[in-house]
Chains A and B, each alone.
Chain A
Amino acid sequence: MRFKNFKNNFKRAFYEESPDLLDKIENSCKNQVQIAEDFKSTEKAAYDGRVGQSRFVNFVFNKWAKATLACVLCLALFASGVWLGVSINGKDAPINTEVYTKMYLDVNPGLQINFNEQNKVISCVASNADGQEIINELNLEGVELNTALSAVVGAIYVNGFISDNTNSILVSVDSSAEKTQEILSSVSQKINNVFKNSSINCSIIAQSVTTTDALEKQANQFNVSVGKMNLVNKMISGIDNLSEENLLDLTEMSINELNLIYSQRAHGEKDNVFAGDVVSGSVGGFLREEEALNSLLNEIKVQSTLLQDYLSFVEYEKVDGEFKLVYNLSIILIGEIVSYHFKVDCKTGEVLQFDINLG
């Protein structure tokens, strides 16, 4: 008998063992007076409304929190004189409109900036609603690549999409090999310059991409940018515990969430998939692997000196009905013949599930 079968048999046996007491209970309840007699039908509607609504309340709160954060960030940027909003286009002369370089920028806002061979912006296209919000604030036509990059990242920051807890930026470049290399090698520094007067430390993934019809079609299908689609495809190919089944989940993740999983790529044996990627900074808003392990050891009151070995990987999975990013931590303690397996919430360090295996 496997353990899963055991669990099902265990539940079934108890269910079948349970006596039928309903009539007796109903008779007993007839003589009972419920507490809180003033629980009127009008209140029931409110009561029903509260059932299962806590997520909505949190959502509203988050919206307000985000709005407040955006206001604070705006003020901070005004104070430091780094406002990068409208009217940065000072070029009136006609420009070469042949697209030479495509740059896809993804945070949560996703947008594509097209440059000519002289690195001047030809056009800017949003890949989602948040991206459109950013584009509406800027007039980038004719602006030089580095200035445009700073302006877009600055506008994303001002609009509250970048913070300590959502600090990941994906930059994808489609150009000649030489130009792509030139951009990828300097993009982290350019972006970090935008934040030199703030406490934000960005985590940047810069990758090269080849925009094919198939990739564009797939990106449109999942309503993401070509850059994000490319990254997701690479993660599925290059990270052991991901497969095509995860495609939808991954495309629906924020760049920050993807970045956490991406940071686990070193555990795979297919690292060549990620060759050429330029990565900097550490992802915010989540516990690092060693922090999660320490949190776990602290929670289960085990000293780190007793730890013989451990294995960890991040997964996006349904735990107790809710999809979460979790560290799957397996630990072996010195002198023990069993291994312990924990699912630890990547954000909070909470132990969500626990299991134990022989050997």
Chain B
Amino acid sequence: MLILFTYSDYDLNEKSTLIEKCIANIAMGSTAALGELYSLIKGDVYAYALSKLANKQNAEDITHDTFVQIYKNAPAYKPQGKPLAWIFTIELNLIKRLFQLSARSVSYEQTFNDDRALGGEDFSESVVNSEFLRSVLKVLSPNEREIVVLHINSGLKHREIANLLHMPLATVLSKYARAIKKLQIYIKEGLK
């Protein structure tokens, strides 16, 4: 049965359990489970790619490749209650590879830590349909964007984000704090 999930607030633990069940069934080759997983986390996977790349086509490619990699690697997944961290690790590796392919003359570390998105900073209408989302994404720097997306959109804890991005927890917290300050100013100004 295909279960339709939306962006709505569901319990993160419940969501993690559902994701793990999907992965277990995908490991048995179930394409139906792949469909369920897609409905469940497409917003998470696409949002992270878009926030990181600021490029619609690249974000779609990364989303596609991430689900293919999940399908391929599902039998090797060991359920530990944190499937989203595993999925974002796959996605981040794909994004890193894309960065490397696009900047062969520059070392990976230089490219990836440059804090500039691949495809530019232009969140135009051709990249993001939602005006609200466009304006929010423009307010934040790339690093702030990915932390906000991982925390607010996908519910990852700051510690999990720190582990995923290989950043000290203090750095994640301070970047998040800075982002929230910017967003609060944005929200207040939006109310005027």
Contacts and interface: CB of A to CB of B under 8 A. Distances in A.
A3 to B, nearest CB: 7
A276 B13 CA distance: 43
Contact of A21 (B7, B63, B130, B169): B63
A51 B133 CA distance: 35
A10 B20 contact: no
Given A15-B43, A19-B60, A34-B29, A29 B74 contact: no
A35 B70 CA distance: 11
Query: How many interface residues does chain A have, given as a range?
Result: 35 or more
Contacts, number: 165
B80 interface: yes
Contacts of B8: 11
Interface stretch (A88-96, A106-114, A198-206, A350-358): A350-358
Interface stretch (B96-104, B114-122, B170-178): B170-178
Nearest to B63: A21
A34 B73 CA distance: 6
Nearest to A298: B170
B9 to A, nearest CB: 7
B152 A15 contact: no
A292 to B, nearest CB: 16
Given A51-B17, A54-B80, A351 B169 contact: yes
A340 B177 contact: yes
A11 B129 CA distance: 14
Nearest to A12: B7
Contacts of A6: 183, 187
Contacts of B153: 10-11, 14
B138 interface: no
A322 B169 CA distance: 22
Interface residues of B, number: 66
A22 B177 CA distance: 36
Contacts of B3: none
Nearest to A21: B64
Q: Lowest 8 A-B CB distances belong to which pairs?
A: A321-B13, A15-B7, A36-B75, A15-B43, A14-B47, A39-B75, A301-B170, A18-B46
Given A34-B74, A47-B79, 11 more contacts: A1-B187, A14-B47, A14-B133, A16-B130, A19-B60, A22-B38, A26-B31, A28-B64, A34-B75, A35-B73, A39-B27
Interface of B: 6-9, 11-14, 17, 20-21, 24, 27-29, 31, 34-35, 38, 42-43, 45-47, 50, 60, 63-64, 67-68, 71-76, 78-81, 128-130, 132-133, 136, 149, 152-153, 155, 157-159, 168-170, 173, 176-177, 180-181, 183-184, 187, 190-191
Interface of A: 1, 3, 6-19, 21-22, 24-26, 28-29, 32-37, 39, 41, 44, 47-48, 50-52, 54, 299-301, 320-322, 338, 340, 350-356, 358
25 contacts: A7-B152, A8-B7, A8-B9, A9-B132, A10-B133, A11-B8, A17-B50, A22-B34, A26-B31, A29-B67, A29-B71, A32-B72, A34-B29, A34-B72, A36-B27, A39-B27, A41-B28, A44-B28, A52-B17, A299-B169, A301-B168, A301-B170, A321-B12, A356-B180, A358-B184
